[in-house]
Structure 1
Amino acid sequence: MIRKFVMERISWLILVVFLLLLSLLMAYLDPSLSLDSMFYYVFLSLVISILFVVHRYFKETSFFKELDTRDSTTDITSLPEPNSPFESFIYKQITTPIEQLAKDVSTNQLLLEEEKDDLLAWIHEVKTPLTALRLIIDRTEDQQLKSELMYEWLRIYYLLDQQLHQKRIPFIENDLFIENVELESLLYSEIRTLRSWCLKKGIGFDVELHSTHVLTDTKWLAFILRQLLTNAVKYSEEGSEITVQSTDQKGQTILTVADNGRGIDSRDVPRIFDKGFTSTGKNQDQHATGMGLYLAKKAAIPLGIHISVRSIISSGTTFTLTFSKENRFLEIQGV
């Protein structure tokens, strides 16, 4: 800070030194002026100037020292108080855009909240005719037509479901209800929803659960499983089988969902949980949104679930859910 202060005031310091030297030069050239007296004057002037510079250093740099040590934040209450008109000018230049930014952020947050609420309300409104449509499809006697209609119905249903959970994920911590969840009933509920699609492709399920219960949130675990199961059905070959297994390994529940589909290219595996990512392979699904696995990963984090994937081209893909060994929800729930 001293070096910066000197550099800022260098022209003034040079001026003071120049004036003192000028007075000595005048005394030297003018016999009427006493050189000793002038040296005394220069000495006193130099002492006073040094004291003045030291005083101004502490007074003028205190504001900037506090600015320099202040954390980078938009909290204007942590700004030091200005002590001069110039510092007041700087203070105003800093606080005015921050205050305006805070107002803009607050306004945008309100608009986003309204947009989220409107979208959630719209999704719930759409579910009513969607449910009615499902009842109409169930009464359709033409099995081929029924199968095709159910496939399209499922696509709409899952897209709406993704949108609903995408809007809720930022607030998932407030939406969790931790309980002891029975895996079998949860799995079969999701599989039954996929029944018509599975029948159309001739896909079967082999469910083998050695670990039957996990401590988690039912709704969000169901959502995660929904993404994995729909992916497995979507990319499985016709007439193949999807295997769902759970085991208990050293106190941890491990749940796997394995298909015998086309698999995932090794270069795509590290990116499949990225937002909006779809396969780069030649067989990529043009209708894929790239949101399902991204949302599943986002939902798994607050639940303490680790999702991993192993895949071989043309041999299938296995997704693994690893539940926490010592679930932190135990302490929260007091169980």
Structure 2
Amino acid sequence: MSYMRRCWKYYLFCLTVLAFANLYFLFLIQDRQIAYLVYFDILLVVFFLLFAGSDFYNYRKKRLWKKQLLGLESVICDILPVSEGFENRDIAEHDIRILKEKIQEQFQEDCELQDYVAKWCHEFKIPLSTCLLIDEKMEDGKLKRDMREPLERMNRQINTMMAGCRLQSPLFDLQIKKISLPECVKASVRNNQFFLIRKKFALDVQVEELSVYTDPAWLVYILDQLINNALKYSGREPGLRIWSERQEKKVMLFVEDNGEGIRDNDLNRVFEKGFTGDNHHNGKYKSTGMGLYMTAKIAQKLEHEIKVESEYGVYTRFTIEFS
């Protein structure tokens, strides 16, 4: 059908010329012989069919070739022969070059913005750390607790912002090395101990003395996000369990809480950017949907597999697989 839409005007013109030629021969030539006209028409029809068949074959061949090219991951323009190019190839190449320059300019602006945000976070952490130290020395217990919580939340948000900048940076830094899995778990628990104590979590950590290859800083960040998720959606008697298992050539780390849980229709979307679920978490917390998204992105860069399973209202379990 696409071939006929492309060529119907041309073929209609040919048939019109043939019809007028026959009419001219029949009505305007006196000594006409119908046999010659029929013979001439047969030759023209045969020639027309041969030409149409050849043209359709070439059209079909180019369509298949184009389909193969469109399936490539590389730039087609660089491998397309000049003889096979289209009429306005130079215009298209000009536009592509201009668009590449604009993309590069936007990329540079984004990098500068990320650098600015990262530097701002570093500068902000200095007075924030000072405030945390001052809070520790306060003698008024109630005021100390009331001040500590917003300071800890600010510190957590700053760390998340810094991690987001580093994650989006083209120079994403990874330092893969052999590390102790229990040490990373302990570091993450220490990072969240204030909120775990504040919410009276029953903590059960049974991580074997196993070694894995990963970036310790990023692994601690992943665990921070999973523990933070448990803190956000905890129940009346909150509990957090962290344990490890060795399965053949793999090491599995499990983080499980007995909080609100995740609905079945949300399980496949918890790692999507900006996804917050359709239950609105009982209105207790307005999630941004970025924590688990960044967790999945970092795990992908570390080449770790992260999975989630849950029973709504009973538990949520995250599994990190180290190969």
Range that drifts further, 250-259 or 218-227: 250-259
> Does the C-alpha gap of structure 1 residues 164 and 19 become closer, same or farther in structure 2, counting only changes over 3 Å?
same
> Does the C-alpha gap of structure 1 residues 134 and 196 become closer, same or farther in structure 2, counting only changes over 3 Å?
same
Paired amino acid for 2:30: L
Contact residue 247 and residue 255 of structure 1 kept, 8 A: yes
**Matches of 1:6 and 1:119 in 2, distance apart?**
58
Are 2:318 and 1:319 aligned? yes
Aligned match of 1:106: 104
Aligned match of 1:295: 294
Cα shift at 1:130 = 1.9
Contact residue 188 and residue 221 of structure 2 kept, 8 A: no
**Matches of 2:42 and 2:315 in 1, distance apart?**
91
Cα shift at 1:151 = 1.6
Cα shift at 1:252 = 1.9
Are 2:175 and 1:177 aligned? yes
Contact residue 305 and residue 322 of structure 2 kept, 8 A: yes
**Matches of 1:223 and 1:128 in 2, distance apart?**
20
**Matches of 1:154 and 1:219 in 2, distance apart?**
19
Contact residue 246 and residue 252 of structure 2 kept, 8 A: yes
Q: How well do the aligned residues superpose, as a CA RMSD in angstroms? A: 4.1
Aligned match of 1:17: 18
**Matches of 2:57 and 2:255 in 1, distance apart?**
68
- Residues paired across the two proteins, number: 319
Return the TM-score normalized by structure 2.
0.77
Q: Secondary structure at the match of 1:29?
A: coil
Deviation string for 1:208-233 (max 9, x for gaps)? 12242211111211111111112223
Range that drifts further, 73-82 or 283-292: 73-82
**Matches of 1:249 and 1:220 in 2, distance apart?**
23
Contact residue 275 and residue 294 of structure 1 kept, 8 A: yes
Q: Secondary structure at the match of 2:282?
A: coil
Aligned match of 1:229: 227
Contact residue 201 and residue 238 of structure 1 kept, 8 A: no
Aligned match of 2:276: 278
**Matches of 1:98 and 1:11 in 2, distance apart?**
37
Cα shift at 1:157 = 1.9
Are 2:192 and 1:194 aligned? yes
Deviation string for 1:59-109 (max 9, x for gaps)? 9999999767643776534455479xxx97543564454344333322322
Aligned match of 1:136: 134
Contact residue 311 and residue 317 of structure 1 kept, 8 A: yes
Paired amino acid for 2:11: I
Aligned match of 2:117: 119
> Does the C-alpha gap of structure 1 residues 234 and 38 become closer, same or farther in structure 2, counting only changes over 3 Å?
closer
Contact residue 3 and residue 59 of structure 2 kept, 8 A: no
Percent identity at matched positions?
27
Contact residue 182 and residue 209 of structure 2 kept, 8 A: no
Deviation string for 1:121-153 (max 9, x for gaps)? 222222222222222222222222222322212
Aligned match of 1:216: 214
Deviation string for 1:289-334 (max 9, x for gaps)? 211111111211232322223333443322222222xxxxxxxxxx
**Matches of 1:25 and 1:286 in 2, distance apart?**
89
Deviation string for 1:190-220 (max 9, x for gaps)? 2222222223222242221224221111121
**Matches of 2:154 and 2:293 in 1, distance apart?**
19
Q: Secondary structure at the match of 1:9?
A: helix
Structure 2 gaps of 5+ residues are: none
Aligned match of 2:8: 7
**Matches of 1:168 and 1:305 in 2, distance apart?**
18
Structure 1 gaps of 5+ residues are: 325-335
Aligned match of 2:30: 29
Paired amino acid for 1:191: V
- Equivalent residue in structure 1 for 2:264, among 260, 263, 266: 266
Contact residue 24 and residue 35 of structure 1 kept, 8 A: no
